Chain A
């Protein structure tokens, strides 16, 4: 049993398809109306059937009222970190503090290179991400003295003006699986955002992964509880239960409550490209919130 004590967040993982062009926006609006906390989009700029995720996030933020938005996760190798930092702060300002920065080190290196991006080894990509996080925080730190200088091995910022100042403390959430990047997440990030589908052992794998994050945080002198643990999930609502996240909403409630309490997960983001799933997940969210609150006492 582990509980890092965060409020629970529930969100939608929406396919950023560009055909029809408004699908993803409509789903974000539906999630907003249903009362979910997060609308998130994956970011694959080399995928011609997807929208540019940054443009989509900005457009969808303008069309929603209350819901928070995030990349899930943004593709650092194809985005300039200083530009991204200013863009993120701009969107946070415009949206009244509704933006969170989900980011990944990159994965599909052939496609990244085809687009003109730089191929990095996994180790390099983790270092690059840590430098980028330094740049994000430096650009956002408008109260800090002097211009921003980051002299990294992968990114250099030489005396950039800081700002704009975001409307709220934007969370930097890292998509991570392997020990080294998990430790970096503990050291440098505000949140962790893996996908359940990529965990070969299922939820059980979360225990060891949490431990790597905790270790990274502790070594850096941070409280492990300061790192929020989120989880992308997918499943199916059906009348009869047939395993993890395949079954009626009540079964989802029990299973997600279990994952929240057992593994300290405080954010669940469900793959949802139709309004029915969004509605049902909003019901599940209410149930999990009730049960977790009861357990936490």
Chain B
């Protein structure tokens, strides 16, 4: 986050060579006393390693910021330093600031200032994980020759410069995120001169001087009588320090002390008064206090009125030049480069974001919950993304009726984990990293499906923001037509801000992963289809096959869940599947549903390009279909082929009860290819067997896919709702339902 003029207070400790644990205890006392930051001073001849100590402090504190101070030695590689700093920031959940200074010039260190600048440059490049290629850098001191970027820190770690030489001051003004210096009674003039030079250099480089805040170390004595700068009573300290903040742009004061009494008196009597005085004396801040770096402003896209982003959203908005952008621009399967990402935390913010997006009707608008969408794009190029990931609450509304309220940004593994203590589960998909919003507006074909239905079959109500910004609730009794449409085609009608589900009691489940011989792929598929349909509803299995492996037999991976905690039942249910063909590998475990869903790590943002998929819903795996599917798999056109068992409880629901209408299907088929035309051509052979398609897994952009996803009656009904609730097609990111024009209607 960019600097603001909020005043913060830190503690500068001198490590003890023999009892470093005292320093730890002081850092902890500082945290308890309300200090914002702790740093370790580098004493001449110091032998204790500051980075080790700071990392330990990170591990033994919870909240306090950590300011690492680093002298650039030629022997220290900035690439490694970048990794160390990123790690400390990740481990401390974004608490790090890094200050860099030059070491004394020596035979081994002939270019100390260059060393600092090169270190700064290299660290920034190592952290720029969104930039293409590896890091190459040739400096006077350091050379990097193709290092992999990353890891990136958890937040935009400010890089400060420490030093008083004109070269370092200019460097601070040109490139740094702040200047760390020391002030005592006699050095105030030098501080002001340094600060002025930094300000001029910043402006000359097109920066706002506020991008280079001043952080100063101070030391003093509390005494009953006044005796010069920072010698006297607390009120005298306030008198001495306030001008630094108000007149000289100091944003952070670091108190250097070894005495706990000084630490506490400063925290109790000086810091609060300075904070209050500063907030009344400082000029009115920018509207939210956020200052975007000039380098970020330079990367804005055309056509977006960035300065008009609603106040509510300014703090959490992410632009292409912002630190967090690489983490939000792409999704799990799709590369993207939006012009603006609006992260919303409340319904008010969703309304504001949607309003802002509607003022840019010429731009693409994407809605993102978890970022796993295949048909739902969740990102775009140059447009706006409304990112719901921060809206991720999961609340039990009523234990008796098992009513649960879930926000769209929650991920299914978190939902499963939250429900487990109650002995409940809600069927979702096959991957815990998927977000709630996209899946719960499309269907939700999961491992409990045959016994418990689709995810949407458990939906009892939604709170939504519609295209015109209005907030509505839809259920079986309110806005019933919308509630019907949301369950299968929700992405077309608005942004769901909360789902209310009635979840089921589900105990531990049997979870099996079987590797089966599929050399005769057609025969295997057909047998699996029969076995799957014949299995009791407590058993749901998904089949995965990959492309032919040269010289090796074809293998099918089966993932099956048995909704029973009885080992005998589990084995009985699985045996028919294990009997289909020779078994290469098997793993069967009794575990909570939540443990099965806890299969996602990290964030969903590594996608590149566009996923190429086709989807079909199928009533039965006939010999003819199995033969055609076997040909597709062996052709090498698809790299991932999956069939999920549906049917069972899913088929109990009337076709016209929800917008997901293909209730007769027993199987959902999806194929991933790497070439659009080739996959579409190969799919033609399978197409006649299908009764429909599952919208969530379909990426063919041709409009006729809508008629695969929705039977005629359903589509006609959806068009009516669309015409009424989103006549301008604001929501067109995920299989837009066209509103019939006159020509279409008469042809």
A in complex with B: yes
Q: A21-B91, A86-B47 are in contact. Are A59 and B58 (CB under 8 A)?
A: yes
Q: A52-B84, A55-B88, A63-B59 are in contact. Are A164 and B18 (CB under 8 A)?
A: yes
- Residue numbers in B under 8 Å from A116 (CB-CB): 77-79, 142-145, 147
- Residue numbers in B under 8 Å from A164 (CB-CB): 17-18, 20, 47-48
B18 and A90 contacting across the interface, CB-CB below 8 Å:
no
Q: B417: CB under 8 A from chain A? A: no
Q: A255: CB under 8 A from chain B? A: no
Q: B421: CB under 8 A from chain A? A: no
Instruction: Write the B158-202 contact mask toward A (1 if CB under 8 angstroms, else 0).
Output: 000000000000000000000000000000000000000000000
Q: A25-B91, A51-B91 are in contact. Are A59 and B145 (CB under 8 A)?
A: no
Instruction: Give the contacts of B61-81 with A (CB-CB under 8 A).
Output: 73, 75-80
Docked CA distance A18–B149 (Å): 14
CB distance from B507 to the nearest CB of A (A): 20
B51 and A87 contacting across the interface, CB-CB below 8 Å:
yes
B80 and A58 contacting across the interface, CB-CB below 8 Å:
no
Docked CA distance A43–B243 (Å): 48
- Apart from A20-B601, A83-B75, 4 more pairs, CB < 8 Å: A52-B80, A89-B47, A91-B49, A116-B78
Q: What are 25 A-B contacts with C-beta separation under 8 Å?
A: A18-B151, A20-B602, A21-B90, A25-B59, A46-B147, A52-B84, A52-B87, A54-B51, A55-B88, A56-B91, A58-B55, A59-B55, A59-B56, A62-B57, A79-B80, A83-B73, A90-B53, A113-B145, A114-B134, A114-B144, A114-B148, A115-B79, A116-B142, A161-B47, A164-B20
- Residue numbers in B under 8 Å from A162 (CB-CB): 47
- Residue numbers in B under 8 Å from A114 (CB-CB): 134, 144-148
Docked CA distance A161–B84 (Å): 25
Instruction: Give the contacts of B284-300 with A (CB-CB under 8 A).
Output: none
Q: B52: CB under 8 A from chain A? A: yes
Q: B60: CB under 8 A from chain A? A: yes
- Residue numbers in B under 8 Å from A117 (CB-CB): 77
B contacts, CB < 8 Å to A = 17-18, 20-21, 24, 45, 47-49, 51-53, 55-60, 73, 75-80, 83-84, 86-88, 90-93, 129, 134, 142-151, 154, 601-603
- Residue numbers in A under 8 Å from B602 (CB-CB): 19-20
* Size band of the interface chain A makes with B: 35 or more
- Residue numbers in B under 8 Å from A55 (CB-CB): 51, 55, 84, 87-88, 91
B59 and A48 contacting across the interface, CB-CB below 8 Å:
no
Q: A245: CB under 8 A from chain B? A: no
Number of cross-chain contacts by CB at 8 Å = 144
**A-B CB proximity, top 3 nearest:** A62-B59, A48-B150, A58-B55
A contacts, CB < 8 Å to B = 18-22, 25, 45-52, 54-56, 58-63, 78-80, 83, 86-87, 89-91, 93-94, 113-117, 161-165
- Residue numbers in A under 8 Å from B56 (CB-CB): 58-59, 61-62, 91, 94
A58 and B79 contacting across the interface, CB-CB below 8 Å:
no
Docked CA distance A234–B601 (Å): 23
CB distance from B361 to the nearest CB of A (A): 38
Using CB atoms, name the residue of chain A closest to B74: A80
- Residue numbers in B under 8 Å from A80 (CB-CB): 73, 75-76
A62 and B147 contacting across the interface, CB-CB below 8 Å:
no
Docked CA distance A53–B60 (Å): 18
CB distance from B317 to the nearest CB of A (A): 25
Q: A48-B151, A114-B134 are in contact. Are A78 and B77 (CB under 8 A)?
A: yes
- Residue numbers in B under 8 Å from A52 (CB-CB): 80, 83-84, 86-88
- Residue numbers in B under 8 Å from A83 (CB-CB): 49, 73, 75-76
A45 and B80 contacting across the interface, CB-CB below 8 Å:
yes
- Residue numbers in B under 8 Å from A50 (CB-CB): 151
Using CB atoms, name the residue of chain B closest to A79: B80
Q: A48-B151, A164-B17 are in contact. Are A115 and B49 (CB under 8 A)?
A: no
Interface centre among A47, A59, A78, A93 (most CB of B within 10 A): A59
Using CB atoms, name the residue of chain B closest to A162: B47
CB distance from B141 to the nearest CB of A (A): 10
- Residue numbers in A under 8 Å from B93 (CB-CB): 21
Interface centre among B21, B55, B142 (most CB of A within 10 A): B55
Interface centre among A45, A50, A61, A63 (most CB of B within 10 A): A45
Docked CA distance A21–B75 (Å): 28
A62 and B47 contacting across the interface, CB-CB below 8 Å:
no
A91 and B77 contacting across the interface, CB-CB below 8 Å:
no
CB distance from A186 to the nearest CB of B (A): 29
- Residue numbers in A under 8 Å from B49 (CB-CB): 83, 86-87, 90-91
Q: Point out the residue from A62, A87, A115 that lies within 8 Å of B144, measured CB to CB.
A: A115
CB distance from B53 to the nearest CB of A (A): 6
- Residue numbers in B under 8 Å from A115 (CB-CB): 77, 79-80, 144, 147
Using CB atoms, name the residue of chain A closest to B129: A48
Docked CA distance A51–B83 (Å): 7
CB distance from B722 to the nearest CB of A (A): 40
B87 and A78 contacting across the interface, CB-CB below 8 Å:
no
Using CB atoms, name the residue of chain B closest to A23: B601
Docked CA distance A63–B56 (Å): 8
Docked CA distance A59–B57 (Å): 8
Using CB atoms, name the residue of chain B closest to A165: B18
- Residue numbers in B under 8 Å from A25 (CB-CB): 59, 91
Using CB atoms, name the residue of chain A closest to B137: A116
Interface centre among B20, B143, B151 (most CB of A within 10 A): B151
- Residue numbers in A under 8 Å from B53 (CB-CB): 58, 90, 94
CB distance from A42 to the nearest CB of B (A): 14
CB distance from A31 to the nearest CB of B (A): 16
Docked CA distance A111–B303 (Å): 43
